[in-house]
Chains A and B, each alone.
Chain A
Amino acid sequence: MAINWFKYSAPTTFYGLAGKMIPWFAFFAAILFAIGLYIGFFVAPMDAQQGEFYRIMFIHVPASILSMFLYLIMAGYAALGLIFNTRLSAMMASAIAPTGALFALISLWTGALWGKPMWGAWWLWDARLTSELILLFLYLGFIALHASIEDPRRADRAAALLAIVGSVNVPIIYFSVTWWNTLHQGSTIKFSGTSMHIAMQQAMFTMLAACWLYAIAVVLARVRSIILERERNTAWVTQLPGIADLSEVKQ
């Protein structure tokens, strides 16, 4: 069966499709979180050097990975929207930004909590932490620029350009920060031991998958609200069941 992808790139059809997909993603995200946390807290053994403290990495590492990948995906959608002038891609980009920023924040927060017992300080100017902080700034810049432009089309396009410039800059920033850090001989979190225990790996991958599913569910939910907001004056939105009731109440 040939699927007409372009059909789903129209906000109208995507709205319905996303609505059907969200419960599934949310459901599996919740199950995987439960499994991952169980393995992480009860099955995985204590680390020889880091004791119980290392368990925070089951949240820290997936959050860091997600924050970086989401930025690239966001920039990709932004580029699609800018080049092909597709509205849905631009909406996706602005729907991803808050989730990406949230993961960057979680990554920083858990990094600091991990750093206190390991380094004896909440914050060290570790290369990865510093890059993560800059990534958070880039997310905030995107969100702030989008929020301060009233015309949604201009907001989409301006923020898209910023995201693309940012994504070109990310490798340069990462490289320069790493270099700066080695120059100053800062410390970086390093894994003890040569290989991770198999249960640690399982917990890590389960948590990573759970975070991905959560991110997808949340982004789809957010994109649905953006679609509603942008298309509030169109016929199909006013005929949606919940909204038709609302307008009757108003009258």
Chain B
Amino acid sequence: MKKFTMLDLLVLVIRRDLVLAMRRRADVFTTLIFFVMVASLFPLGVGPEPDMLRKMAAGVLWVAALLASMLSLGRLFSADYLDGTLEQMMLAPQSLSILVLGKMTAHWMVSGLPLVLMAPVLGLQFDMSAQAIGVLIIGLLLGTPILSMVGAIGAALTLGLRGGGVLLSLLVLPLCIPVLIFGTGAVEAVSSGLSIASHLSLLGALLVLALVFTPWVTAQALRISME
């Protein structure tokens, strides 16, 4: 019998979660539709003036992405918790942080990446320039993984609680404010002809920080919630 290395295990968890997501495609689409819907409600709320919409676009799309990713976070661990798989994951002979990282990655690929791919279309709805859309995409690519990772902490802490979904947003949204600020800041900078390097490098730094710390913190939170 061949033994699994850490990397094998990571790949196994990602593949498993992607297969499961493919067999439950409806969940993926609800997140995406929610994103599109929230973004489309704004022009109806504030009026159709193109100038104002162009100015708001980055903020609206980022807030919509933030809300959409909250929507799918509740499912990150709950199915595995209810059917006992999470127990088995905690008994894996590798660090739980690795498995958690795998689940975070899969979660981003299923719920974050589709938002990034959809964003240009919505950007056009708001009449954003091609340049601004490009920066928006880069920002979202750097930022949405952070949302999945920070959100995972909240998902682990609220595991199995009644009304966990609302609580989850209450815990996680304040922690995501920096991502929102730098992500929209970058688009604004490029629109007003300033350098985007500082915004994007700060987002990158946050991503690295999140990659280093959140899997471990989430693993601790899961251990607390499993007691």
Contact = CB atoms under 8 A, between A and B. Distances in A.
Contacts of A140: 170
B108 interface: no
Given A138-B174, A144-B170, A153-B227, A161 B221 contact: yes
Interface in B130-173: 153, 157-158, 161-164, 167, 170-171, 173
Contacts of A154: 224-225, 227
27 contacts: A134-B174, A137-B170, A137-B173, A141-B170, A145-B157, A148-B161, A149-B161, A153-B227, A154-B224, A154-B225, A158-B157, A158-B225, A162-B153, A165-B217, A166-B174, A168-B213, A169-B174, A169-B178, A172-B178, A173-B175, A173-B178, A176-B178, A179-B181, A179-B185, A180-B185, A183-B185, A183-B188
A149 to B, nearest CB: 6
- Going nearest first, the 10 A-B pairs with the smallest beta carbon separation are A176-B178, A137-B174, A141-B171, A157-B224, A180-B181, A176-B181, A158-B157, A158-B224, A172-B178, A134-B174
B182 interface: yes
Interface in B184-227: 185, 188, 202, 206, 213, 217, 220-221, 224-225, 227
Given A158-B157, A172-B178, A176-B178, A148 B167 contact: yes
A162 B161 CA distance: 15
A177 interface: yes
Given A157-B224, A161-B220, A161-B224, A176 B177 contact: yes
A109 to B, nearest CB: 19
Contacts of B173: 137
Contact of A176 (B153, B161, B163, B182): B182
Interface size, A (range):
20 to 34
B174 A158 contact: no
B174 A141 contact: yes
Interface size, B (range):
20 to 34
Contacts of B153: 161-162, 165
Nearest to A147: B167
Interface in A73-116: none
Contacts of B188: 183
Contacts, number: 73
B153 to A, nearest CB: 6
Given A141-B171, A144-B170, A154-B225, 8 more contacts: A134-B174, A140-B170, A145-B158, A151-B227, A161-B220, A162-B153, A165-B175, A173-B177
Interface in A151-203: 151, 153-154, 157-158, 161-162, 165-166, 168-169, 172-173, 175-177, 179-180, 183
A134 B157 contact: no
Interface string B12-42: 0000000000000000000000000000000
A161 B181 CA distance: 25
Contact of A162 (B157, B181, B185, B202): B157
Nearest to A130: B177
A164 to B, nearest CB: 8
Contacts of A172: 178, 206
Nearest to B159: A158
B174 A148 contact: no
A148 B206 CA distance: 30
Contacts of A157: 224, 227
A157 to B, nearest CB: 4
Nearest to B179: A176
Contacts of B185: 179-180, 183
Nearest to B224: A157
B70 to A, nearest CB: 13
A140 B174 CA distance: 11
